[in-house]
Amino acid sequence: MPQAVISATGLFTPEQSISNAELVAAYNAWAEGWNAENAEAIAAGELELKTPSSEAFIEKASGIQSRFVMDKSGIIDPERMLPHLPARGDDELSILAEMAVKAAQDAIQAWGKPVSEIGAVICAASNMQRPYPAMAIEVQQALGIEGFAFDMNVACSSATFGIKTAADFVASGSVKAVLMVNPEICSAHLNFKDRDSHFIFGDVATAVIIEAEDQAGPGGWDILGTKLKTSFSNNIRNNFGFLNRAALPTGAHEPVSSDGLSDKMFVQQGRKVFKEVVPMVSEMILDHAAELNLDPHGLKRMWLHQANINMNTLIGKKVLGREPEPEENVIILDDYANTSSAGSIIAFHLKHDGFAPCDVGLICSFGAGYSAGTVFVQKRP
C-alpha cells in the first residue's frame, strides 16, 4: 500500500489580536460592575465576590501573552464580553469556511499542484457552526474540488485524527491526496466572564495536504505511524452551539441560570485535566515510539497541542527524559494562545526548519473526550 506523506501546510491568522493587558482590563471592569450590582447578595453570603484577573496570573497559569481573534471589539467591551459574529445568509460563504479556504489556499500554493489532484476534504475542528451541510463540503465547493468531503470533531485532537483518516484514505488507494482543514473560532465558545478560563483561547485556521508517496515531490514528511486514543471524561466540556450565543445583539440579556447560556460554554476542571492527561499522553507517545522502533530521546522536535505551557513542558520532559530545549518542544502559546485542533499544526507549520533528511519529529494532540493522537513524521529528501 502507498505510504502517506504530508506535503504542505497552510495557516490563516486573523488580523485582530488581544493582549493580556486588554483582556484583563475588560474582565476586571465587568467584575467590578457585577460586584457593585450584587453587593447586597455578596454581603449576605448568597453570592461570591468576583476576584480580579491579572497579567501575571494568566502568564503563570498558561504561558499566554496574547491571542488572535475574529472580533476584538465585542470581547473587550465590558457590557458584552463576547465577539460580534453576525449571521450570514445561506447563500454566503460561512465564516468558518472562509477561514478554512484561506488556510487551504496557503497550503495549496506551497504544494504547487492543481486542486484536481485532491480527492477528499476533511474539516476537522472543535467548534462547527452548524450540524449540516458539512463545513467540509462548503470548503470543497469554494475551492472547486471534486470527490467527497465531511466534518469530524474530536475536540483539540481533531487535526491528528484528521491526518490519520487522510493517511488511511491514501494508503487504501481511495484518493491520491486529501485536504484537511482546521478552522477554529474558539473565542466564540469561551466564557469571558470566567476568571479561570477567560484567557485560554484564540482564533485561527490551519490546513494540511496529505498525498501518496509515489506522487509526492521532494521534501515533505513521511508519516511513519499514527495512533489514536479516547477515554471518556467530563473534565473538559462544551454543551452549546457557540454561534447561537455569539450572534446575540449588543445589550441582549444573557441568562445565567442552570438552563441559560453561561453554563453551556467551555468549562474544564483544570487540575484534574493536568493530572490525568499528562501521564496518558506521555505514555501513549512512548508506547507508540516503541511500536515503531523509534528512540523518543532522539526526536528532533515535538509539535504538541498548545494547551498550556506547564502541560507541554512536562510532557516534553517525560518523552525526552530531560528538560527539552526550546527548539525541541515548540511553543506558540505566547502569540496564539490555545487554538484547539489547530495548535499543533500552527507549531508544525511555523517551526519545521533545520531538519535534515531522515530526522524524526512528532505531531501530537490531546484534549476533551479525553482524546489524543500521535503522528510521527520523518523529513524526506
Lowest mean pLDDT among 110-119, 136-145, 187-196: 187-196
Give the helix/strand (H/E) hosting 185: strand 177-185
Q: In the structure grid, which three cell numbers stand for residue 122, read together?
A: 476533511
Strand-by-strand arrangement of the 177-185 sheet: 148-152, 120-124, 177-185, 203-212, 4-12, 221-230, 371-379, 360-367, 301-304
Domains plus CATH for the chain? 4-217 (3.40.47.10), 223-379 (3.40.47.10)
Catalytic residue among 123, 156, 186, 364: 156
Q: How many CB atoms lie within 10 A of CB 271?
A: 9
Strand partners, 304: 364
| Cα separation, 367 vs 124, whole angstroms | 14
Percentage of the residues of the chain whose pLDDT score is greater than 70: 93
Note whether 246 and 83 are within 8 A (CB): yes
Q: In the structure grid, which three cell numbers stand for residue 57, read together?
A: 496570573
Give the helix/strand (H/E) hosting 136: helix 135-143
Query: In terms of Cα–Cα distance, which of 100, 77, 115 is closest to 10?
Result: 100
Note whether 48 and 196 are within 8 A (CB): no
What is the pTM assigned to this prediction? 0.92
Whether the per-residue pLDDT at 165 is higher than 60: the answer is yes
Query: In terms of Cα–Cα distance, which of 10, 11, 20, 15 is closest to 334?
Result: 20
Mean predicted confidence (pLDDT) in 271-290: 93
| Cα separation, 82 vs 246, whole angstroms | 6
Peptide bond into 133 cis (omega under 30): yes
Please write the tens of the pLDDT for every residue from 244-253.
455 555 544 4
Question: Is 156 considered catalytic here?
Answer: yes
Please write the tens of the pLDDT for every residue from 301-345.
999 999 999 999 999 999 999 999 989 999 999 999 999 999 999
| Cα separation, 94 vs 115, whole angstroms | 21
Q: Chain-wide mean pLDDT for the chain?
A: 92
